[in-house]
Amino acid sequence: MEYLQSLYLVSKPFISYIGLKSVFLIGSYSGEWYSARIYSINCIGEGINGYFDHFWTMASPTCTSLLATHVSLLGVFITSCGLTIVTWFLYLFNNHIKSDYNKVQNMLDIEKKKDD
């Protein structure tokens, strides 16, 4: 039972981080997708008529705000994904540096014991 409790204690920060990150990514992605969908349905239209109607609707306040919302949320989503990847690589790099440092420290300790 103690092993399960210790496993829960160790994994709790990871579970909460993954949960919060997933909720944030899914929420920003859904908002970005929905704003793009509303913009494409209401402001662009379909076919050749949509192409010409777009000239009259693209500068309306509604279409401008939908496009700005779409672009902003897309930037937030891409930046969040990118920072997640960069953070993971920094974590791996830090672990690699620590393992190299421990190897060097062990080598120095062995040489020090030989000298004694």
- Mind listing the pLDDT tens digit for each residue in 65-90? 888 988 888 888 888 889 889 998 99
CA distance 51 to 35: 19
- Each residue's pLDDT, cut to its tens digit, for the chain (116 residues) gives 788 888 888 888 888 888 988 898 888 889 888 988 888 888 887 888 888 888 887 788 888 888 898 888 888 888 888 988 999 899 999 988 888 878 878 877 776 676 65
Contact 76, 33 (CB under 8 A): no
pTM over 0.75: no
Going from N- to C-terminal start, the domains of the chain cover: 2-82
* All residues at 6 or more sequence positions from 77 whose CB lies less than 8 Å from its CB, including other chains: 25, 28, 29, 32
